[in-house]
Amino acid sequence: MNKLIKKPYLIFWTSIPIISLLGFFIKADSFGFNVHDTYFVIATNHLIMLISLLFVIIGLGYWIMEKANRKLSKWLNLIHITLTFGGILIVLILTQCYRNEIMEYDFNNNLTLSITLILITVIFGQLIFPINIIRGLIKKLPNP
């Protein structure tokens, strides 16, 4: 675990093939969500490619900072990794809890609200990455 906090690019880069395989085996062709009067539909393979590209960029940022001998905060690394992977895992678990009975609309609405709040937290949690990078760039280099 300590190695993953010191080298967070490892977890991001190793998760790319896993996410790609999961995307390949998912039966859904599209992912849709409603924002006010607009219904957005995204193909599942496009969403998988977008997440993979995001993980490549994040992993590359962490890797470049390590090669430049810049120290990143272990706590910010841990928070970023936990929010990213923990939030995505919780959302995947919660999406399996939807009920199909017509009388369960309140449950589904509360579940949708919970998933939305978790996804917003995950998205805002991605702001920790540039904050950590900027902090690492501003912080003085250790004396050799």
- pLDDT value at position 84? 92
Please tell me the predicted confidence (pLDDT) of residue 104: 56
In this prediction, residue 54 carries a pLDDT of 92
Q: pLDDT tens-digit profile of 82-104?
A: 999 999 889 888 877 766 665 55
Q: In Å, how far are 56, 60, 83, 98, 119 from 114, measured between CA atoms?
A: 28, 31, 15, 12, 9
Q: Alpha-carbon Rg of the chain, whole angstroms?
A: 18
Tell me the two tokens of residue 60: 């590359």
What is the predicted pLDDT for the residue at 103? 56
Domain ranges of the chain: 2-138
Alpha helices (runs of H) in 1-144, residue ranges in sequence order: 2-6, 9-25, 44-67, 74-81, 87-95, 105-125, 128-138
Residue 107: the pLDDT is: 65
pLDDT confidence of residue 127: 94
CA dist 59 and 44 (Å) reads: 22
Distances in whole angstroms, Cα of residue 101 to Cα of each of 28, 106, 108 = 21, 11, 10
Which pLDDT does position 124 carry in this prediction?
92
Q: Taking the model in full, what pTM does it have?
A: 0.79
What parts of the chain have a pLDDT lower than 70?
A: 1, 27-28, 98-108, 141-144
